[in-house]
Structure 1
């Protein structure tokens, strides 16, 4: 797998296809390999006619883990993304991502507005007033992971219902259990602590983003609340929000993304 070093961190990546550039970031604790099995957006179809850069974020998948929690803030991860884009020869691109990757894309659009020409934000995470409780949860999870108190973590996660569109799918509902079994606890604790340093950009800053934006959200997920997606739609004048309540709705996300990207090409 191709790899490069950006900002003192070795990142694995995949660059596929030809055409206008799209950069996709995965969610917290995920990776390219996991998304190959549990894809919210299938880039083999959604990215038709585009060159798509996917990568394992710092501390995830095959990429390096670093020790400083703020290395994993969403703003810091946006700097990683922009540096990786530089390294592979990408200038202007559509910044896209799920959860942590969506937040990374937002920060990238504000750091380098001349480079991000559109956004695809999938299941945006907690932010602003809903973020404090989530960051406290991540700190507690990091402590339990480091202590290898997996039974307590699994018991707590069992009380949290899965998002509505994937509620009856074991691959999704058993994801966290697999993660605990497969991931080095030191690496996992680092990304949880890092997530505790992260938040979305200020609302006033987001309101300055005036590029086409597709927001894909789902229901039944307190970690990715519909309130965040709705607020983002309110703030950005060129945004569209699509909400999935069922698996059938979720299954449209790849085609919706493809249509959105095609519309950008037709306007270029």
Structure 2
């Protein structure tokens, strides 16, 4: 897969959102994790989405509001999961999708996809949910850390916050993945952090009403993306399946797993059907 695809831009709610459009065929949209961007995720080397293109899918990846090439203001409310879900729905409208689209998201992007799907389930045909973040009973401690980080950035600068992050040991499964500075600029980084602190995943009761095929991809040993969230998602969503990776090599299979799930036997192109059983 080429590094950039065909770049597109559109304005929504005071920001310019930038996306890259790869391949041709039924639409799949992808939302990245917090503080990174498409380019940073590519440099991290964790996920390979080329199998989706080989399977004949059109893949649109975008930089979230305030991240990477996309702009954003300094309002906390702009960076809640619900607000980011509005951006995703606006992107689908901008792309002129004629029917439901498949959606994938990692961490913050996973939360974005879930909120968008709960709000407008008719816009989606299937979901791939990567490393779901802290939620429900585990969320408040993470929210406190985000609020403290925002205060640190404002009072001591980004470098002080990054020094604290560098001292934290990464999960063993991704211990060799390089770290990168946050892509939101300093002037809006506190707002991003506080917006995330205001956020949570949809309640399990709301997820239980979501009748969409879903593949949940998680790894072990990560307090920021605990297996408790992934397991609750898999239990709550009627058509969800869970795969847990324990090695970096197995994480490397996620692109193939996503492609098999979205395009395998029993799933018509662009929506409907059930998991192919190869997950």
User: TM-score w.r.t. structure 2 length?
Assistant: 0.88
SS of 2:216's partner is: strand
SS of 1:265's partner is: coil
Indicate yes or no: 2:107 matched with 1:82.
Answer: no
Residues 165 and 196 from structure 1, CA distance in 2 versus in 1: closer, same or farther, beyond 3 angstroms?
Answer: same
Residues 224 and 40 from structure 1, CA distance in 2 versus in 1: closer, same or farther, beyond 3 angstroms?
Answer: same
Superposition deviation, residue 61 in structure 1: 0.5
List gaps (5 residues or longer) in structure 1: none
Give per-residue Cα distances to partners, 1:180-225, cap 9 Å, x unaligned.
5x75322222211111111100110001111110000001110000
List gaps (5 residues or longer) in structure 2: 1-6, 274-279
The answer to whether the Cα contact below 8 Å between 1:7 and 1:83 also exists between their aligned partners in 2 is no
Aligned counterpart in structure 2 of residue 139 of structure 1, from 141, 144, 147: 147
| Equivalence for 1:157 | 165
Q: Quick check: which one's helix share is greater?
A: 1
Superposition deviation, residue 107 in structure 1: 0.7
SS of 1:185's partner is: coil
User: Aligned pairs, how many?
Assistant: 261
Indicate yes or no: 2:64 matched with 1:57.
Answer: yes
State the alpha-carbon separation in 2 of the partners of residues 217 and 99 from structure 1.
10
Larger CA deviation: 40-49 vs 216-225? 40-49
| Equivalence for 1:200 | 201
Residues 119 and 170 from structure 1, CA distance in 2 versus in 1: closer, same or farther, beyond 3 angstroms?
Answer: closer
User: TM-score w.r.t. structure 1 length?
Assistant: 0.91
The answer to whether the Cα contact below 8 Å between 2:35 and 2:184 also exists between their aligned partners in 1 is no
Larger CA deviation: 90-99 vs 226-235? 90-99
